[in-house]
């Protein structure tokens, strides 16, 4: 070891190029790393960044054409049933998406189909409303007649003169009248049917007064004897305030035995 002039054996030393220690010093100098190469490394997999993908792979990240807003609008308005609007937007969307510059052709077609269907539906609705508007009176009368017929069938007040029926035990219960064969025992027989004047409900007392007077008159004509001289009783079924609003104007006049004994034959012209 060469001792430096300073006397410090650990102080840095200058390399020697001659003398007995030169070979030792030179042999201690290690070679540096190899200089980098400028070409591509043979150990890097894949293709260069600026070249095409291997084996014809697609260029990922390529921009997609935008979805056509008109086509989207056609589908939305079609779902909402806006008739002619999706029809027009659908046609425009198909034109705009042709050529591949915009996406959404399927949306435009769907909107067009929905537009056609909703236009047909709205056509029927408008035609129906126009028919009702131009035939309002006839439509109202038909509706009223339908309600009256349904009410009569439900309550049994669709009976006619000469029909026999079973009256409910409680005449105020509102239970329906049950038509029966006059050859079988029955409680009552229809001796008359009245139609009260149309208009606002006149009040329950006025309806009862009209029903009683009309039924006593038809009783005498049907049975052949005045009620005061008969052994039969008179019952009548008249409209209520609720049924009046549904078009009920009918009064059913019935006759049955005073003591409740069932009838087994008609009372027409019997003088009972």
Residue 152: what pLDDT? 65
Task: Determine contact, residues 253/192, Cβ cutoff 8 Å.
Answer: yes
pLDDT at 155: 65
pLDDT in tens, the chain (272 residues): 545 555 555 555 555 544 544 444 444 455 555 555 555 544 444 445 555 545 444 555 567 788 888 888 888 888 888 878 887 888 888 888 887 778 888 888 888 888 888 888 888 888 878 776 776 666 556 655 666 666 666 666 778 888 888 877 665 666 777 788 888 888 888 988 888 888 889 899 999 999 988 898 888 888 888 888 888 888 888 888 888 887 788 888 988 888 888 888 888 888 78
Identify the pLDDT of residue 83: 76
Q: Residue 45: its pLDDT value, please?
A: 46
Looking at the structure, do residues 156 and 204 belong to the same domain, yes or no?
Answer: yes
**Residue 183 lies inside a defined structural domain of this protein:** yes
Residues 230 and 181 in one domain: yes
pLDDT confidence of residue 92: 83
Structural domain including 247 reads: 150-257
Write down the pLDDT at residue 27.
46
Domain identity same for 252 and 212? yes
Residue 84 lies in a domain: yes
- The count of domains in the chain is 2
| Domain presence at residue 262 | no
Q: Is residue 45 part of a domain?
A: no
pLDDT, residue 44, reads 45
Residue 221 in domain: yes
Q: How far apart are CA 263 and CA 111, in angstroms?
A: 72
User: Rounded to whole angstroms, how far apart are CA atoms 25 and 15?
Assistant: 6
> So what's the pLDDT on residue 116?
85
Q: Which residues are paired to 254 by β-bridges?
A: 190, 235
Check whether residue 154 and residue 238 sit in a common domain.
yes
The whole-number pLDDT of residue 97 equals 85
Cα–Cα dist 164/155, whole Å: 15
User: The whole model's pTM is what?
Assistant: 0.45
Tell me, yes or no, whether 116 and 166 share the same domain: no
Residues contacting 260, CB < 8 A, separation 6+: 187
Residue 43 is predicted with a pLDDT of 46
């Amino acid at each position: 070891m060469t001792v430096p002039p300073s006397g410090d054996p650990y102080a840095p030393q200058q390399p020697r190029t001659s003398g007995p220690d030169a070979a030792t010093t030179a042999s201690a100098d290690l070679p540096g790393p190899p200089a980098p190469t400028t070409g591509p490394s043979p150990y890097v997999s894949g293709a260069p960044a600026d070249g095409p993908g291997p084996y014809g792979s697609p260029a990922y990240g390529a921009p997609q054409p935008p979805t056509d807003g008109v086509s989207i609008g056609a589908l939305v308005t079609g779902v909402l049933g806006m008739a002619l609007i999706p029809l027009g937007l659908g046609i425009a969307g198909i034109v705009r998406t042709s050529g591949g510059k915009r996406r959404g052709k399927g949306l435009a077609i769907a909107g067009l189909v929905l537009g056609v269907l909703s236009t047909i539906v709205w056509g029927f609705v408008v035609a129906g409303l126009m028919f009702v508007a131009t035939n309002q009176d006839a439509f109202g009368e038909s509706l009223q007649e339908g309600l009256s017929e349904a009410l009569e069938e439900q309550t049994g007040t669709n009976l006619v003169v000469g029909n026999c029926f079973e009256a409910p035990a409680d005449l105020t219960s509102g239970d329906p009248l049950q038509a029966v064969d006059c050859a079988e025992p029955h409680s009552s027989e229809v001796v008359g049917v009245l139609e009260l004047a149309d208009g606002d409900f006149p009040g329950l007392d006025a309806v009862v007064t009209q029903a009683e007077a009309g039924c006593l008159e038809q009783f005498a004509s049907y049975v052949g004897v005045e009620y005061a001289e008969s052994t039969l009783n008179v019952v009548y079924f008249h409209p209520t305030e609720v049924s009046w609003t549904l078009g009920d104007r009918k009064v059913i006049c019935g006759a049955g035995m005073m003591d409740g004994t069932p009838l087994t034959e008609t009372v027409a012209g019997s003088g009972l």
